[in-house]
Structure 1
Amino acid sequence: MIKLSAAPWIASFNAGLFFLWGIFLPFWSLWLEGEGMSVSAIGILLGAGMLTRALGSMLLMPLAKRSEQLPPLLSWVAFASLAVLTAFLFLNNYFWLCLLTLTLNFFVATMIPVSDAIATRWVSSLGIDYGRARVSGSVAFIISSSLMGIVLSRYGTPSILYAAIGAALLTLLLSRVARADSLEDDASPVADAQPKGRLFKVLADANARRFILATALIQGAHAAYYAYGSLYFRDIGFSDASIGYLWSVGVICEMSIMIFGMRWFRSWSPLRMLILAAIAGAVRWALVATVDNVVLMGLTQSMHALTFALAQIAVIRYIAHEAPASQAISLQALYSALSLNLGTALLTFLCGALYADISGNIFWIMAGLNLLAIPLLAKKTAPKGAV
């Protein structure tokens, strides 16, 4: 039986997961439209889907009380994702399209924090380079979204579902690959106190509350960019080709941090890295609201390396090395549920309510959110003990 050591295991699973994500995230709305759903209904459904992603993290992650329970949970969630996608072949009226799409968001998105929790444990115990292991996901996302565009132009929207089913099967198989490195927790009272199903008990710790709120502000501030970036770029006169170039710049620069971040920021603390990400976010979104030159906008896109990728690496380092061991799985779940999903969902709804009236000025609000994160990160209290 083939066994992979920690870093190759994370890299291979991330490749499969983000190959699936590169199909689901950009193209699922097109598949729903091809099944007869209106654009307005799709918008509401996708917004609700972001909320179910948060629920997935909060309800499924606590099922793993200890680190060695994470891989079985990951395989179970991967199987559930495949089962839901397969159900679309047989259940495709309006009710089932909505229910299954929400369920799909619940399971597919939860694989990200579960795999990140596994990686966090190996960062702590083995010192693996999370960024280099994670970059395979960025590469796979680019490849799958590019290939899906070609397949879609040739075979039409039905191909999206079949491609997603194939990618989900690959992800399930990769989740079952044997691991050469152990995932056992430290044999200590703190580690033995790993969360007993009380997810929000972690938030009794002031540091944990500030960490979740600050990362929610930093990551949630991407909401305007994700939801309205392309529309705004077109409104200020950029061509479709230029818009595609701008998105590519962001992903390429994100990959550079994933590959070289360990070397460049080796001596930096996680909180210092997050403060840099917040400062970069304030500058980036202020510039996006101001500039109308495609080259200068490309420079703002290069800052995605700091506002997203650096923040993500800092989060993994913080959970692995600075947060109490008893908080690790719960803190990973809360970060995914509240910072990445719920925070972004709520800010997406806010952007939707304001964009028609204020257009690009919405990015000034995103800049302000990053400024609010800085004092939260600058203050740290002594831990009160295990939770």
Structure 2
Amino acid sequence: MARLSGFYLAYYAALGAFTPYWSLFLQSRGMQVGAISVLMSLWYATRIVAPSTWTTMAARSPRPIRWLHLGCWLTLLAFAAFLLPLGFTGLFAVMCAFCFAYNAVMPQFESITLSHLATQPHRYGQVRVWGSIGFIVVVSSYGPLLDHFGAASLPWLMLPLLAGLMASAYANHYEHPPREADATDQAGFRTRLRQPAVRAFFVAAFLTQISFGPYYTFFAIYLGEHGYSASRLGLFWTVGVLAEIGVFFLSARIFRRWDAGKVMTVAMLSAALRWWATALWPENVWLLGLAQVTHALNFGAFFAAAMQLLARFFPGRLNGHGQGVFYGLSSGVGGVAGALIAGQLWRFSGSTAFAAAGGFALLAAIIAWRWLMPAQANARRSTG
């Protein structure tokens, strides 16, 4: 458990520097909003191909853990190129390489985690929470550092975190190394993809990721437009992730009482309310802070519920493929769409982008309520 938790700690510590502050770094390099939206969309675009490519290659290898090591090495080496004085073309190329490698390793590691927790998937939150702890330590401390040293220093500050990720990768291994899926596995996977509840799950996850587009891409810039400092930005992220940590600690209790479909519905509905509050009252620091608290639901509870559903929809060897589709479709295609849509709507105003995000989240909640909750109820009756 400690080795698994250590990898999440290192991975999400680096993400705690990248996600909130990277747009400020790009802005410090002279990039405008349109260019930033394109560059940030690469973070999500690589999720379309990286997870499935990496998990497939790992499944075919007699030593799948080597692919985890390779991915972490490539992540560190590609990121080091950001230290160079690159223009848009150079940043585009390096973003492609870094984001591909960084996005490749986590789906593979999710499979490692689930192989260790094969009979206790409800304990996933207790492992994943250490990722949130790493995230919160970095996001809360890097805001003041960037206020002091400037956003251009961010690559130097992130390099030690990625070196820690690489070191953590060598401490882990597969509990049960997955073998390559055969034709029967592939047929079973396609059959499961055709189930209405499975399709509804992926569509809802896709729409939820679109709704996060303005937040992940422009929240730092949005707060700057309303007079907030990088330190205050870090504080807002800290509030949200602290609440998220509480959900992960309580996840085992939550899923013993409520099914994952219901949890996901509530999570998506809370996201709609969060984005509308952000759009309408950005100057109200207390209301904006309260909106951040709902991160516990619209990210923490959503993600924990998604892992529960993936374990149920794609058991055993099929889980790696399910993880690949989940990351590729929701975080990948949905992330690209969210970043690009946010960039276009930003021409009108940041509030317009966040208001539209609320609409996407509400639609996701309706889909989960209509298809996932009944599916969960039917599953309980069939096993009861």
Taking structure 1 as the reference length, the TM-score comes to 0.80
Q: Answer yes or no: is 1:377 the counterpart of 2:372.
A: yes
2:238 to 238, 248, 254: 248
Matched residue, 1:4: none
How many corresponding residue pairs? 371
* Equivalent residues of 1:120, 1:319 under 8 A apart: no
Q: Name the structure 2 match of 1:351.
A: 342
Assess, with a 3 A threshold, how the Cα gap between structure 1 residues 149 and 306 changes in structure 2: closer, same or farther.
Answer: closer
Q: Does 1:295 align with 2:290?
A: no
Q: Does 1:58 align with 2:49?
A: no
Residue 116 of structure 2: aligned partner: 122
Q: Quick check: 1:75 aligned with 2:69?
A: yes
Q: Note closer, same or farther for the CA distance 1:255–1:105 as it changes in structure 2 (3 Å cut).
A: same
Q: Per-residue deviation at 1:253?
A: 0.8
Q: Sequence identity, in percent?
A: 24
Tell me if structure 2 keeps the 8 A contact 1:51–1:345.
yes
1:38 pairs, out of 10, 17, 31, with 31
Q: Is 1:131–1:258's contact at 8 Å kept on the other side of the alignment?
A: yes
The match for 1:226 among 216, 219, 223 is 216
Match of 2:295 in 1: 304
Q: Distance in 1 between matches of 2:71 and 2:191?
A: 24
Counterpart in the other structure of 2:316: 325
Measure the CA separation in 1 of the matches of 2:129 and 2:71: 22
Tell me the CA shift for residue 163 of structure 1.
Answer: 3.9
Q: Deviations over 1:294-337 (max 9, x none)?
A: 32332222111111110100111112234343531111111111
CA distance in 2, matches of 1:158, 1:288: 27
SS of 2:291's equivalent in the other structure is: helix
| One-letter amino acid of the counterpart of residue 167, structure 1 | L
1:24 aligned residue (18, 21, 30)? 18
CA contact (8 A) 1:77 1:111 kept: yes
Counterpart for residue 175 of structure 1: 169
Provide the C-alpha distance between the structure 2 equivalents of 1:238 and 1:158, rounded to a whole number of angstroms.
Answer: 20
Quote how far apart the aligned CAs of 1:71 are.
Answer: 3.1
* Aligned residue identity for 1:55: V
Partner of 2:382: none
Q: 1:273 aligns with which of 247, 263, 270?
A: 263
Assess if the C-alpha contact under 8 Å between 2:140 and 2:237 holds in 1.
no
User: Relative to structure 1, is the Cα distance of residues 264 and 157 closer, same or farther in structure 2, using a 3 angstrom cutoff?
Assistant: closer
- What SS does the corresponding residue of 1:38 show, helix, strand or coil? coil
Indicate yes or no: 2:157 matched with 1:166: no
Rounded Cα–Cα distance in structure 1 between residues aligned with 2:116 and 2:62: 11
Give the Cα–Cα distance (whole angstroms) in 2 for the partners of residues 107 and 219 of structure 1.
20
Over aligned residues, Cα RMSD in angstroms? 3.6
Q: 1:213 aligns with which of 203, 207, 212?
A: 203
Q: Which has the higher helix share?
A: 2
- For the structure 1 residues 323 and 94, does the alpha-carbon distance in structure 2 shift closer, same or farther, using more than 3 Å as the test? closer
